[in-house]
Amino acid sequence: MPSSTSTLTYESRSQTHPTAAGRKLLQIISQKRTNLCLSIDHTDPDKILTLVQKLGPKICLLKTHIDIISFSSTTTSTTIKSFTTKLQALAQEHTFMIFEDRKFADIGSTVQHQYRGGVYEIASWADITNAHSIPGPGIIRGLKEVADGIGEPRGLLLLAEMSSKGNLGGGEYQERTLAMARNKEWRGFVMGFIAMKEVGGGSGNDGEGGEEEDFIVMTPGVGLQVGGDGLGQQYRTPEEVVGRDGCDVVIVGRGIVGADDPVAVAEVYRERSWEAYEGRVKNG
Ligand code: BMP
């Protein structure tokens, strides 16, 4: 049976990960000693830029929902393009990557337009995006064709399971999503999963992915205590998510964005998530 990737260091995985986006992210995680992704779920573009400037040093990845931002109501009339250009400059300044949480879910032809064009032009500025596997492999093929024309590393995460109560992911859905991800045709593009625990890489005991398989698992629904938000979100702690369940990157939104002192709270998340990783690798 191959050994699980969750017992390997981010540093060693950054040398061998099959996707360029994955190698870059694992390098950043290892160098900055942070496996924290900030989900910047705010609707005011100016507030987002101010917060990201402060929180940039704490994170490996910034997750956006570009379509919740109210560009029209901003006082400085920030346009979408100038906003995403500023985010890219902040990513450069503080060394983090950008993940647009678009959750594509349509046929290949439609998602190509959604990824490349429209008002957001996601492929031009987001290093990473994600997609549901429900439409079948055509969604991955469609997105990959767009990504291949960009000229910079682009990575895709598939949603294998969600953090919300009653979601239809996990179990057989996750197994079929994993099987879809393993297709050699997109080996350099599908970098991992949104999931609640380690996926593939020897963790499932099926051995089908081979020893070199390495999917990066990013996990939302992370809080400093176990809990929920009254709308189905379920929170687990960094120790459970990273230490016990083998996830690689913790995604935190309101826990940081809504805090009185976001920088201090982000440091608590960073430290606890990093220590959970160190413990996991040491005991692995
Ligand atoms: P929060 O930490 O405030 O609960 O935010 C979680 C973020 O992660 C939200 O942006 C949400 O859209 C996203 N998310 C999630 O909560 N669960 C999933 O399964 C997938 C997500 O992308």
Nearest Cα neighbor of 65 from 39, 33, 38, 89 is 39
The pLDDT tens digits of the residues spanning 101-122 come to 999 999 999 999 999 999 999 9
Least confident of 4-8, 18-22, 226-230: 4-8
Fold (topology level) of 5-283: TIM Barrel (3.20.20)
Instruction: Determine which helix (DSSP H) or strand (DSSP E) holds 83, and give its type and residue range.
Output: helix 80-94
Q: Tell me if 100 CB under 6 Å of ligand 1.
A: no
CA 258, CA 128: separation in Å to the nearest integer?
A: 25
Of all atoms in ligand 1, which is nearest to the CA of residue 65?
Answer: 10
Which residues are designated catalytic? 101, 103, 106
Q: Tell me if 169 CB under 6 Å of ligand 1.
A: no
Predicted structure pTM score: 0.96
Cβ neighbours of 27 (radius 10 Å): 18
CA 238 to chain centre: 15
The alpha carbon of 1 and the centre of ligand 1 are apart by a number of angstroms equal to: 33
Binding residues for substrate: 41, 63, 163, 233, 253-254
C-alpha dist (Å) from residue 178 to 4, 56, 140, 166: 15, 32, 13, 20
| Ligand 1 atom 22 nearest Cα | 101
The alpha carbon of 220 and the centre of ligand 1 are apart by a number of angstroms equal to: 5
Taking the domains of the chain in order of start, what are their residue ranges?
Answer: 5-283
The set of residues, in sequence order, having a beta carbon less than 8 Å from that of 146 and lying 6+ positions away, is: 112, 115, 116, 123
CA 236, CA 165: separation in Å to the nearest integer?
A: 12
Residue 155 has pLDDT above 60, yes or no: yes
Q: What percent of the chain has pLDDT over 90?
A: 90
Q: Tell me if 255 CB under 6 Å of ligand 1.
A: yes
Instruction: Return the bridge partners of 177, or none.
Output: none
Kind of pairing between the strands at 234-235 and 227-228: antiparallel
Q: What percent of the chain has pLDDT over 70?
A: 95
Mutate-to-test residue for ligand 1 from 163, 197, 236, 237, highest number of ligand atoms within 8 A of CB: 163
Helix (H, G, I), strand (E, B) or coil at 98: strand
CA 177, CA 253: separation in Å to the nearest integer?
A: 26
Q: What is the mean pLDDT of the chain?
A: 94
